[in-house]
Each structure stands twice: as structure tokens, then as C-alpha cells.
Structure 1
Amino acid sequence: MSRVQLAIIGGGLVGASLALALQAGAKARGWQIVLIEPFAPGDSYQPSYDARSTALSYGTRQIYQRLGIWPSISERAEPIAQIHVSDRGRFGAARLSAADEGVPALGYVVENAWLGHCLWQALDKDVISWHCPDEVLAMHNLGDGYRLTLKDGASLECDLAILADGGRSGLREQLGIAVTQRPYQQSALIANITPSEAHQGQAFERFTEAGPMAMLPLADNRCALVWTRPGADAERLAALPEPAFLDELQAAFGYRLGALRKVGARHLYPLALVEAQEQVRPHLVVLGNAAHSLHPIAGQGYNLSLRDTLELAESLLASTAPLGELACLQGYLDRQRLDQQMTVGFSDQVTKLFTTGQPLLVAGRNLGLLGLDLLPPAKRWFARQAMGLGPRSV
């Protein structure tokens, strides 16, 4: 039976980013890293109108610059030059701009397939090997590491296991790691949209009586729609013929981008705030959506996970203790705790505030949006949160 230093369970964007952040230091230390992923990563990027995308904060750009792959990511990263926040049918609005913040962009929107392609191409095959397509069926605590039982029948031992297999992690449940879950009683409808007018790098956060929506700029003058609605209504919208769907979306969003001409495949995701009650154990780290899964409207989930990933990599490479020792892993979590608490709290409060129909809170949020546009210190704080530069800069 083979043994490696690190096994990353989940080779998606978070798992691959951790492997990239570790690989130079791992090579110097003679570590071997295994990525275990059920879906085979593509060797070549295939453009698709319906590609899912992720909003990367300016702080995330800085991380990927440090890791040396931002030049390749930026080839298909659409910059967010402005963010327009508004409340449908009311006077409150706020506008954030990259120029005002002195940065080239407030953030970027990148197709997941392209981001994954850039990450996988940058991995050093002398240090990082793949078990793919494959998955871990069971994990057994050895005291000094874990034994992983793989679907293909093989077993693998590791000094440190990283659980990065997503928000519905079966292994997390198998290990007895409890989660705190707060359903939002909403679903996110995700789709790509083509407007008749150029988006010019504008992102829109629009709050309506039935739930918030975001329209984010994508390459090829597409926009990524995230439309939050009560579950039954989201299902109704997903099933509408394209003309009827575009009519309802147009009525809710307005004509800031002209007429909405095309919608691609529509996908629904039930929404909840999910947090693992344990993120570290001896020889185990829970990372990414398996650690915390946020409402998408504030666009903070992946960016927080990437900051966790960088801090974990730096902690492991700076430690002289045996790999997987709890003191090192707990130190990582202690350093990230404030960032996690602030980001989760910011995302949750924004979601609650802008999904309520209570008249006093509606009036308050409109005054808040108006004040945000008029008060530079408040506007700058909000902009730094949106850019992923909250408790500490990268």
C-alpha cells in the first residue's frame, strides 16, 4: 500500500488551488501530493455559451498573481469596472467603481472551465499525481494519518487528508463532523444572458420584492445571472419557454442593458448557509464548501475559500512539526477565524436585509444605499468587502 504526505479529496477549483499553492514548497521538502477527483479534468478548454462562472474578487486576483497563473486566467477574465446596487421601484442606489478605489477592476468573472484549465495546466506532475476519475468511499483514522479506500478498489495512506469535496460532502458526514445549516427558503436560478447593449464591465446587484438578483459581466458580451426566488417560483421560472422567461426577467431587471435577447440553460440550486462545526482535526482539514457554503448573492464564497487555502498552504510550509500535527492546523484556523466570521456575517446580513419585505427594514435599506453612495468612508468599507480585502489585505 502506498503512502503520500498529502491527499486532497476533491480536485475542483479549491483542491487544485491548494495543490498549486503547495507544490513549490512540497517539491523542496520531498512531499508527494495526490488529488482525488471523480470528474476527469479536461486537457483542453472548450468554450461554451452555457459555461458556469465564478466572480473573483480583486483580492483573489492578487493571490493568483502570487501563484503565477493570473496572466493565463486573465485571458478570459472579464473585469468588473463598476457595481451598481439598487432596490427595484425605490430611490436607494449605490455605485462602486474601480477608478474610485484606485484598482484596475473591482473583481473579475471567469468561466469555471477556464479557471480549472489554468490551474490544472500549472500543476507539477513530479509533485502532484491524480487519481481521476476516482473517489474516496471511506476514511479510516490511523492515528498518524488516514487510510483512504478508493472506488477503484485501491487503498492509499496519507499524513494529512484535505477534505475539499463540496458542500454536500458525504465523507464529512461519515467522519461525524456536524454542520450548522440555515436554509434561506430560496433557490438560485443560474443562467447566462445576452443583452442587446454592451455591458461595459458593469455588474448589477438588484433587489426585488421576490428576492435579489445579480447580473455579472462575462466575456463575449454575455452576463451571468444569479436570480434568487422562493423555491416553487424558481422552479416555475426554470420551466418557462425562453420568450416568457426573458419577459419576466426584463420586468424584474429593467432596461439598463437594453433588451435581453437570449438565455442559455437554466440551473437551480437550493440555498442555505452551511458551516462545519469542525474544520480541523489531527491529520485532517475541511476546506472550501465542505467547510462553509454561503449565499451566492454577495459573491464571497469562493473568494473566502481561496483565502483559507492560501493561509493553510503558508501554515503547512512554515511549520517544522510533523505534517498533520493539530497545533499547526489549529493555528491556521485561528488566523482565518476573523476573516471567516466577518465574511460569513457580511454575506448572511446582506442576504437577510435584502430579502425582507418588512416596511421599516425596506425603508432602512434604501436609506442605507443612499447613504452608502454619499458617505465615502462607508462606501470604501463596502467596496473593500466586495473586493475581498476585509480584515487583511493579501
Structure 2
Amino acid sequence: MASSLQKCCQDSVRIHSGPPALYQLKLKRANLDRRSDQQSKLRRFTYGQQNPKYPTKTILLVGATGSGKSTLINALVNFVMGVKFEDKMWFEIVADESDRAQSESQTSEISVYEIFGFEGKTVPFSLTIIDTPGYGDTRGIKYDDINSKKLQELFGVLSGRTEIDAVGFVMKATENRLDERMSYIFNSVTSLFGKNMEENIVMMFTFSDGSEPTSALRALKDANIKCATDEDGDPAYFLFNNRQKEKRQAGKAAEKAAKFAFETSEEGLEEFTDCLERSEPQSLTSTVQVMMERKQLTMCIQDIKELKTSPAGQMQNIVHSFRHLQVTPGEKMFHLLDEALCIIEHLEEIALNVDSVSTFIHLDFLIENMKENVEFKASNHGALQKLERIKNRMNKPNQAGAVYYKLRR
């Protein structure tokens, strides 16, 4: 065993003796939102001491609940540490989903993991991993909406960290059909980003047996997911097995199976970190703009609904509240419709996913209200046709995702 791994064992809590022996690394914690440990939704965990002479690569992991993100994070850390199959040990910085109760695994916290001190073992850089809550939360859509809000907040508090080197879209290699839930998850994840992130989004297939994930790749292509591609135009992907920490059974066959599982992930991690080393970091500026615009569109739609449903007495209050600005409810409606149209047009320019479910679900409502507003129609020639075109270009997977959203909302 390398001396560096011996030191890691000393800096850890042994969970069981294995093999492989399982250790929980001791991390320094900081709550980035300055809340208590019980209330914080933005946490940073650090292992080791940063050496400024080495660059840091930042990875953002996104995916469905139960896709294996936690196991993948631990695998990345062990690979960077230089852990080999023969070492018969495994380190964790985050508990696997399988080790936690469902209520514990479905959380809304975003965690940032910083790993320092292993530069030169297997990669020439330190590692920062941003772990997001899983999409498709069984508790409802509102928990998915929290993801975007918390990510936006995170990017605001990570001073000096304005770039991402890779976005890892984590999904099971065994996914074999594009149902409404998966369509919604694909759409929601890609709706987070600006156009500049496309070439930095890669697929990370977990629970892999080492073979090509044909069905999962077909689902991605059917959904027209925008991500990095290989020379054949297929989504760029890496394979990982989730069995590295499983207790090894006696016998040659069991040993062979365990080694194959370990090496499948090791090969995928080597390919991924090679890709990570070559990747050009991308600014988060447009991604933050996309998140802000989507949030503003939702607020704008809510204001229109409130304006339409306000009783006569409340309507008088609305008129009174804008009297100093000489704004009537009709003028307010005109302004809100115009604002919604401008937001959608801006998202068409900057968003990676211009066919986001978060926009699609509002189109019928906006079209109906624009038709009713004679003044708006007269001064915005082509607006209705533009929204109709956006609505009609939505493919079947995205429409299915919208159905899932409406049912789960």
C-alpha cells in the first residue's frame, strides 16, 4: 500500500474491514449560505490542502434520483487518490444512495466537494465536484424547481469560480425506454444551461456491465439531447460500474467478477479524466442568465394570472397602486405580455434547450391572452405566429415531458 493511502486511512473512519476495507474520509465543512448545519442547502466539503501551482478542474453532476451520482463521486475520488483493486480498500466522501433511507437520499442540498493533495497520482490537477439533487423527485416537481434556484445561488456565492470544465449527465446504462418521466428529466437538465455548455456536457452511464448502452443511447438520440458528440455524431459517454465497494466473495470466479467491475470503472474514469484535462472551461454567465430568465418568465405568468382573476375590488386596488405611474390594469397586462415575449425571445438566443418544458407549458396561456389583447396584437405583429411556431416544433419526447410536469405539479 502506498504511504499516501496509509495516511488517508489515518485521516478516515473505518466503517468495516472488508475486503475491501471501507473508510469514510474526514472532510472540512463550510456552509456557503451561512446557515446552520441542519438548515444549510449549500455545503462545501474539503479534503486536503490546495496547492496553487496545480490547476483545478470543476465538474457539475446532474441526473435523475437514484442514477448513482453518489457512487460515481466516490469512484472519481478513489481514482484521483490512486486506489487500485489490489489495495483492497475503498474510500467514501458521500454515502451511497443504497446506504441511505429514501427520505435521506431525496434531499434538496447542493454539495461541493474539493479534493486536494493527490495531484500527480493519476491526474495533474485537483478536483472540484458539484453534486446536485436528483431530478424526478417522487415528492413532486417543486423539489426539481429548487435545484435551479439553489444552483443559481451557488454560482453567486462561489466567488472566483465562474467556469465549469464538464457537466456530467449521470444515468443508468440500463435505461431502455424514453417514458414521460425520463423525457421530463432530460428536458429539465438541459434547460439549465446556456448554449456555450453543449460541448462540455458528457453522458456518464452507471451500473454498466462494460458493453455499449445501446438502448440508453437510443433514448438520448430520440430526445435530441444537446451534448458533446463523438466522430460518428453519437453522444460522448463513459461507462462506470457501481460495485467497487461490495464485499468480495471467496473463490476465483467471484474475484474475477469483482476485478472486472473495478476495471470497468477504472477505464471509464481514465477516459473521462483525459477528456477533462483537454476540455476548455466554459463561463457560467449565460447559464446564470438562462436560470434568471426562466424564473422571471414564471413570475411574469403568475402576475398575468393574478391580474386576470382579481375581483373588481382588488382590481381597483391595482389601479390605485399604479396611479402614481398612470398605469391601468390594461396597460399592466400589455406590459406583462410584452415582457413574457421578450424573455422567450431572449431564451431563444442564449439557452441550450430552446424547447424547454418550462416555456412550453405557458405557450397556450400566452397565445390566448395575446389574442384577447387588441392593443398588444396591433403593436406586436408576428408575435402570435412566433409563439405558435415554438409550440409546434416541440417533438414528442418534450411534449411527453410536459405532460409529466403537469401531472406532477
Whichever structure has more helix as a proportion of its residues is 2
Whichever structure has more strand as a proportion of its residues is 1
Higher relative contact order (CA 8 A, sep 6+): 1
| TM-score, normalized by the shorter chain, greater than 0.5 | no
Could you say which TM-score interval applies, normalised by the shorter chain? under 0.3
TM-score where L is the length of structure 1: 0.24
